[in-house]
Amino acid sequence: MAEVRLENISKHFNKVIAVDDFNLSIKDREFVVLVGPSGCGKTTTLRMIAGLEAITEGNIYIGDRLINRLPAKDRNIAMVFQNYALYPHMTVYQNMAFGLEQRKAPKEEIKQRVREAAKILGIQDLMDRRPKQLSGGQRQRVAVGRAIVRKPEVFLFDEPLSNLDAKLRVQTRVELKKLHERLATTIVYVTNDQVEAMTMGDRIVVMKDGLIQQVGAPLELYNSPTNIFVAGFIGSPAMNFFEAELVHSGERLSVQTDSFRIDLSPKKAALTEGYSEKKVIVGIRPEDLLEAREHVTGKTIQTTVEVVEPIGSEIYVNVSAGEVPLTASVDRKARVKPHQEFVVEPSLDYLHLFDIRNENTLS
Amino acid sequence: MVGERFGSKLIKFYTPLVLYLVFLLFPFYWMANTVFKSDIELYDLALNPLYIHSPTFDNVAHLFTQTIFLRWMWNTFFVAILATIISLAASLLAAYAIQRLQFKTSGPTGVAIFLGYLVPQTILFIPLAHIIFKLRLWDSLWSLILTYPTFLIPFCTWLLMGYFKSIPKEMEECAMIDGTSRINIFRKIILPLCLPGILSAGIFCFTLSWNEFIYALAFISATTSKTVPIGLVTELVRGDVYHWGPLMAGALCASVPVALVYSFFVEHYVAGMTGALKE
Amino acid sequence: MDAVAATEQDFRPPSLRKRLSMALENPTFLGFLFVAPAELLLLIFLAYPLLLGLWLGLTDTIVGREGNFIGFQNYISLVHDASFWLTVFNTFLYTLVAVFFKLILGVGLAVVLNRDFKGKGLMRAIVLLPWIIPTALSAICFWWLYDSTFSGISWTLIKLGLMDHRINFLGDAWNARWSLIVANIWRGVPFFTIGLLAGLQTINPDLYEAAEIDGAGSWARFRKITLPLLMPLLTVVTVFSTIWTFADFQLVWVITRGGPGGATHIFGTLSFQRAMSGGHFGEGAAISNFMLPILVACVFIAFVFLRKED
């Protein structure tokens, strides 16, 4: 059983609170991603699970065991470091065998397990080489191999792809995901790349300044972010945000800026019940801003194109609606040019409304 | 790290450290202790020698008045400073040449200089004595000033080469494009950037000069020309009479300049030593 | 008009000044110029004496007068000299034992000092003290500390009940040897400590964490990670220390002058005694020259070892 439970975990470094009241229950075989900007506490949390940092407050359980004071080597976990931490004076084989040798496993067993892991990762031909003779991608595999040889209860990954070039990163992502299916073990994965988080995690934990912002499945976070931070962090290009006034006109509720007005659907309007402020922050993703043929007040926004970024599969159009900058993601065949007029229609069902005081989503 | 208890920390850390500190500091303590004891107290076996019963400055006074300690100090300073200047100058130029100018034999020259550091004074002192005698530098402080660079230059060159490596080549190339002459590049760009290295090397030269013994013992016999270590060892022992009090006072007072220089520049000293070793 | 003026100017040979400044831009010329002072000094006062020393060993030079070539006579008479063999024995004993302990203590201390603790900087500075203080001065101190009547060590040991009589440190042959070795260790450990400390700090700390997770306890981490990665630096430091200890002079000379009865002579002190006190330059040089093969062997072994590690 390899459930991991973190209860009220906090970490203080002198006066700095790196992790604040972190609560999470990870199910057996789940792939959980901790994601957030630098300094949000995700790596510190991971290291507390590993036993490389002492816990200031709270409890961590692996299965039924309380592991707070257990030294790292007795926790039956394996970790892949950001810089791989391969032993430079040992061959690939020795690097992978090290953990088992320390646990006094019989030689035959070690040989067999290392070979098995090497095969899975495709590094059988590199066994006699030293780390400095390997490419970045190869080193990364050895680091992963070293971890899987141990057959631990939990795998910990600390930004393992950040040192790979973009193409290799995409490739390796897929392979790690396949590995997870094959090994069927609990994984806790730290990254600052939201694409990695979205594509790999069963569940994602978004962190900021030591606090959990939201926990949920990828699409849950994408569709129903609980605050502006999560909404802006997940999804690329990022969600558009602008301040608007809530305007009632009879039955109709609209959000209005200096240059345009959008009438809200009844469903969305209902979200503002109990909200007493006059202003609200509106969020709409670029992919939810559609190109419209003509302008209809209350439904569409008239904009001027500033910059056009064709990335091949689609086109990112950076426009300005008066003082409000927006990014729309449109079809790759669209004909858009800078300085021309461009009308966008926000998809009403995908509009997000945020409390202007605390930046939480209105619900 | 998680899991380390205080007991384990005590064994692995505090105990060895404390034991070693006792071992390290005891001689210093004993030396300082002796300096301020009167002869009577010193040679009284009934007293506990571990602390001073009635402190006195007699030994220090004896040192400064009955011996020419101050003269020896002056000699040693003179030699150390001049040897340092000569060595620094020669090393700076040599290190720059080998590291940056990359001329044809720069590699082997560098190795040769390094190997020079490995030749100990105990092999060279006899032939050198012969040469010194021939050059009529016998009993002169110049015999030391000219021979000390033989062990100062190799080390300083090595150290300074390390420093030059850390200055990006692009800076010099930029200056060359700007039209500066190579000599001016050396004077105006490299030298200022190298000051920490020069400081480290200078401190090394200074402390190593003070530490030299065999040449000073072999080449100089006139009492007034001796350096401090030689003077203390040879002049404060008359026949069977060991003037321990003044001897320790001399050892203590002579240690002071070096310790002072060291304490102000510890970081540079350690950086210099470790930088050189890493090469 | 201008074209003509230009060609006229081209034909004038460059002035001496211009030639000099051009030469100074040439890296090769400048390089040689810059290396010259150092090279000159080292050639006159290091390379030449080295060869002269070899020559002197083959002569019967006495201080003050030129010697005659006598071939290997000096060496032959040394081989038949009992006190020479005693010196050989002593030097090897002194070097091997002292370096061994300096290494062990140096490594241990470096590991201990590598942890983070308050006053680390101060501790490092204190640890370096024996190395900084001029050797002769600390030798004087040990000389006094080893006095057979007034030694503080004897007094402390007797008070603690560990001994019942004062130790004759320097009057007994074996006591004198151990006393010198201890003084040498006292002085030499800092060099190992600081050098190895620097080496320890270059080891990627992630490696220790990875090893810990892999299941290695602190001793296993030391043996499998720290030591192997420290080997190159350890080799260099040990070779240096071996050479310096082997060729030592001042510590032994100040404390025992090679006594009692020549029991603690090492190559340096015996050579000095024969050459300076006795006046026999030729013989003294011969003794010193015996050190050369050992030193060359040391350096050679170190090179080979380091090449292999790469």
Would you state the pLDDT for residue B6?
61
Mean pLDDT by 10 residues, chain C (310 residues): 51 72 76 86 90 86 77 86 90 94 92 81 85 88 84 79 79 89 94 90 90 87 90 88 92 88 89 87 88 87 70
Count of A-B CB contacts under 8 Å: 19
Which of B50, B123, B159 is best to mutate for the C interface (most C CBs within 10 A)? B123
Residues 6 or more apart whose CB falls under 8 angstroms from that of C281 comprise B126, B129, B130, C56, C59, C61, C62, C63, C67, C275
Size of interface B-C (CB pairs under 8 A): 276
DSSP string, chain C: -HHHHHHHHHTSPPPHHHHHHHHTTSHHHHHHHHHHHHHHHHIIIIIHHHHHHHHHTTB--BTTB---B-TTHHHHHHHT-HHHHHHHHHHHHHHHHHHHHHHHHHHHHHHHHTS--TTHHHHHHHHHHHHHS-HHHHHHHHHHHT-TTT-HHHHHHHHTTS-SS---TTTSHHHHHHHHHHHHHHHHHHHHHHHHHHHHHTS-HHHHHHHHHTT--HHHHIIIIIHHHHHHHHHHHHHHHHHHHHT--HHHHHHTTT-STTTT--HHHHHHIIIIIS-BHHHHHHHHHTHHHHHHHHHHHHHHHHHHH-
pLDDT score recorded for residue B103: 66
Chains with ≥3 CB–CB distances under 8 Å to C: A, B
**For residue B4, which residues of chain A lie inside 8 Å, CB to CB?**
71
Put simply, the answer to whether A87 touches C210 (Cβ < 8 Å) is: yes
How many CB atoms neighbour CB A288 within 10 A? Answer: 20
CB B156 within 8 A of CB B164: no
Cβ separation C211–A98 shorter than 8 A: yes
pLDDT of residue B269: 63
- The CA distance from C238 to the nearest CA of chain A, in Å, is 21
Percentage of residues of chain B with pLDDT beyond 90? 19
Residue B235 pLDDT: 83
Q: Which of C41, C132, C237 lies closest to B150 in CB terms?
A: C41
Residues paired with A317 in a beta bridge: A308, A328
Query: Residue with structure tokens 């989503």?
Result: A361
Q: In this predicted structure, what is the pLDDT of residue B3? A: 58
* pTM for the model: 0.79
Closest in C21, C194, C243 to B118, CB measured = C243
| Per-residue pLDDT at C1 | 46
Query: Minimal Cα–Cα distance from A144 to chain C, Å?
Result: 12
Q: What is the CA radius of gyration of chain B?
A: 24
CA C195 to CA B275: how far, in whole Å?
Answer: 9
Which residues between 7 and 46 in chain B have a beta carbon less than 8 angstroms from any beta carbon of chain C?
12-13, 16-17, 20-21, 23-28, 30-31, 33-34, 42-43, 45
Measured distance CA(B106)–CA(A146) in Å, rounded: 45
- Residue C139 Cα, gap to closest chain B Cα (Å): 9
3-state secondary structure of A94: helix
Which of chain C's residues have a Cβ under 8 Å away from the Cβ of B244? 144, 147, 150
Interface of C with B in 195-254 (CB under 8 A): 195, 197-199, 202, 212, 218, 233, 236-237, 240, 243-244, 246-250, 253-254
Does residue B90 belong to the interface with chain C, where contact is any CB pair within 8 Å? yes
* pLDDT value of position A303: 92
Give dist(CA C98, CA A128) in Å, integer. Answer: 39
Q: Which of C215, C228, C229 sits opposite A103 (nearest CB)?
A: C215
What's the pLDDT at C83?
87
A87–C215 CB contact, under 8 Å:
no
Q: Which residue has the higher pLDDT, A293 or B41?
A: A293
**B104, pLDDT greater than 70:** no
* Chain C residues within an 8 Å CB radius of B125: 272, 288
Closest-CA residue in chain B for C117?
A: B13
Which of A235, A219, A147 has the alpha carbon at shortest distance from A187? A147
E-assigned strands of B54-103? none
Nearest to A351 by CA among A274, A291, A290, A275: A290
By Cβ distance, the residue of B90, B130, B229 closest to C38 is B90
As a whole number, mean pLDDT of residues B137-149 equals: 91
Rounded distance between C-alpha atoms, residue A47 and residue A33, angstroms = 14
Residue of B49, B150, B211 with shortest CB distance to C42:
B150
Q: Do C50 and B123 touch (CB under 8 A)?
A: yes
The answer to whether residue B29 scores a pLDDT higher than 90 is no
For residue A111, the model assigns a pLDDT of 94
| pLDDT of res. B212 | 92
363 residues of chain A, pLDDT tens digit each:
589 999 999 999 988 999 999 999 999 999 999 999 998 999 999 999 998 888 999 999 998 889 988 888 888 899 999 888 899 888 999 999 998 888 888 999 999 999 999 999 999 999 999 999 999 899 999 999 999 998 899 999 999 999 899 899 999 999 999 999 998 899 999 999 999 999 999 999 999 999 999 999 999 999 999 999 999 999 989 999 999 999 888 888 899 998 899 999 888 888 888 888 889 999 999 999 999 888 998 899 999 999 999 999 999 999 999 889 999 999 988 888 899 999 999 999 999 999 989 888 887
Q: How far apart are CA B231 and CA B224, in angstroms?
A: 9
**Whole-complex ipTM:** 0.84
Residues of B in contact with C110 (CB under 8 A): none
pLDDT tens digits along B170-226: 777 777 777 777 787 788 778 888 888 888 889 889 988 998 999 999 999 888 889
Q: Does residue A150 sit at the C interface (CB-CB below 8 Å)? A: yes
Both tokens of residue A38?
Answer: 């630098």
